[in-house]
Copies of this chain bind each other. A is one copy, B any other.
Amino acid sequence: MQKGIIKLKKRPCIIASASVVGAHEHRGPLSDSFDMFCEDNLFDTETWEQAESEMQRRAFNLALNKAKMKDCELDAIFAGDLLNQCTGSAYGLCDFDAPYFGLYGACSTLAESLILSSMLVSAGIYEHTAAVVSSHFCSAERQFRYPLEYGNQRTPTAQRTVTGAGAFILSANGEGPFISEVLPGRVVDRGFKDINNMGAAMAPAAIDTLWRYFSESGKSPSDFDLIVTGDLGYEGVNIVRDLLRKHGIELSDNYNDCGLMIYDCERQDVHAGGSGCGCSAVVFAGHLMDRLKRGELREILLVCTGAMMSPGSFLQGLPIPGIAHLLHISAK
């Protein structure tokens, strides 16, 4: 039985990555690491939803160019987003000539797509795959909360959905970074119901996955240059630190969260931090990939977290199940 950590015998290489972001992300501290941004967040389209698809299309094209590949040379695309029926991906990628697997892991979709990609490349079934995900502040607000025109106030625990798309090309061969291990997450439901505190809702899943990883591997947090969660924000990060400490796992300064890295949270007024599929995708595609390639980071754990509720399930009074998928990525 192979239930926990999957050690990839032949480690797939991330040969290219690309990121496309909105104006708010462009004005944040990681600005230089993104490939492209758009001041009005519409990306030459007429609606926020079509803008999200366009971001995926551009990020994917950029990644293909960096990898010097054509779409028809890919064995498969793994893609997803937060929109109803995952239309961000279906419309963004419908013009490309490659087999398509649509995924839904909420904000954890980046890790889900990289895990499935890397297992199939490692096994030799595929040689080249792509992982593409996105989120858009304006389409997410309209769908999950209120249209922007309402000008509703947000609670201090709320996070800002990142406007961004990330695309990655994986290959059986390359010079790194490599995906060394993966640990797919379980659905974790602890009865949490506050729709304005996604960080707290997703934290139990992150704890479950990190605890399983350290228990099974025998490693400790100090074995990694960076442990980075996807989008827990201030609320979730503090819960993860506190509860893992009670389990004897001390996350020190090498722990961070993409939702805290992408914005200067106070100056940019984003409350508890960034969130969304695009959050971990653009931070990893840009800033983290750059640092891995420069050798500043050698071994990292990327843990993408997702909240699996819908506006409908919230209105029906159901709790928010979470999930967290983990990747161990090595520079060499």
A residues whose Cβ falls under 8 Å from a Cβ of B: 1-3, 6, 46-47, 49-50, 72-76, 80, 82-87, 90-91, 93-106, 112, 116, 119-120, 122-128, 143, 184-189, 308-313, 316, 318, 321, 323
Task: Pick from B87, B96, B104, B311: contact of A103, CB below 8 A.
Answer: B104
Q: Do the beta carbons of A312 and B104 come within 8 Å of each other?
A: no
A171 to B127, CA, bound (A): 25
Nearest residue (CB) in B for A90 is: B308
Known A-B contacts A87-B308, A313-B87; the reply to A2 vs B104 at CB < 8 A is: no
A95 to B3, CA, bound (A): 17
Further pairs besides A94-B308, A102-B105, A102-B308: 18, Cβ < 8 Å: A1-B127, A2-B127, A3-B74, A3-B99, A80-B104, A84-B84, A84-B85, A86-B104, A87-B312, A94-B189, A97-B186, A99-B186, A100-B187, A100-B323, A102-B103, A102-B104, A119-B125, A143-B312
Task: Pick from B73, B106, B116, B189: contact of A85, CB below 8 A.
Answer: B106
Q: Which residues of B contact A316 (CB under 8 A)?
A: 46-47, 49-50
Nearest chain B CB to A203 CB, angstrom units? 16
A87 to B319, CA, bound (A): 11
Q: Do the beta carbons of A313 and B186 come within 8 Å of each other?
A: no
Nearest residue (CB) in B for A95 is: B189
Q: Do the beta carbons of B83 and A310 come within 8 Å of each other?
A: yes
Known A-B contacts A101-B103, A104-B102; the reply to A2 vs B125 at CB < 8 A is: yes
A93 to B185, CA, bound (A): 13
Which has the most chain B C-beta neighbours within 10 Å: A99, A105, A112, A125? A99
